[in-house]
Amino acid sequence: MPSEDHKSQKKIQCWIPLETWDKIVSLGYTSPTIAVTKAFEKLTEEPHEEPLMDPSASKKSLHTSREIPDISQEGYNRDIEGYKENIKSLNSEIERLKAVIMNAPDPLELARLQERNEGLNLVIAEKDKRIEDLTREVSRLDMFAHYFKNVEVKQIEAPGVAKVKPWYKFW
């Protein structure tokens, strides 16, 4: 806890993300002073194996302070090789898809062919309907022809013409 003597204290000012502040409030800290004081006390209690670094220090200094073991380097190399193989397979897939796209028919020509196909299908449907109508007409005419073959044909005499009897028939 901070003491009341201002000469034995150091004032600090910092910006923290709202998400972090919300987490601190949810832990029960009511003021930033109490939370920061507790955090600094925790930092000074625990001995650290690595020296603390300034957050604004360059990345180069971070890499030089830690050494990467050879085992993890081999793992990284395996991962890199796996990534290279994936890249090769994806590049070959891209080339295959490009070839498929290049061999694909022109969309405008395809649309024209589909339209022509639909028109020809309509003409074929009309032709089939006409053939059916003509077949029905032929069967009806066949029926009439059969009827007329069976009926005796009588000759019709012209009206007003008297039938002259042959000369040898006088009675």
DSSP letter assigned to residue 5: -
What pLDDT band is residue 112 in, cutting at 50, 70 and 90? very high
Asked if 53 contacts 61 with a C-beta cutoff of 8 angstroms, the reply is yes
**Greater pLDDT, 134 or 158:** 134
**pLDDT value at position 115?**
94
Average of pLDDT values for 78-88?
A: 89
- What pTM, to 2 d.p., does this model score? 0.31
Closest among 59, 60, 12 to 32, alpha carbons compared: 12
The backbone region for 118, taken as left when phi is positive above 0, alpha when psi lies in -120 to 50, beta otherwise, is alpha
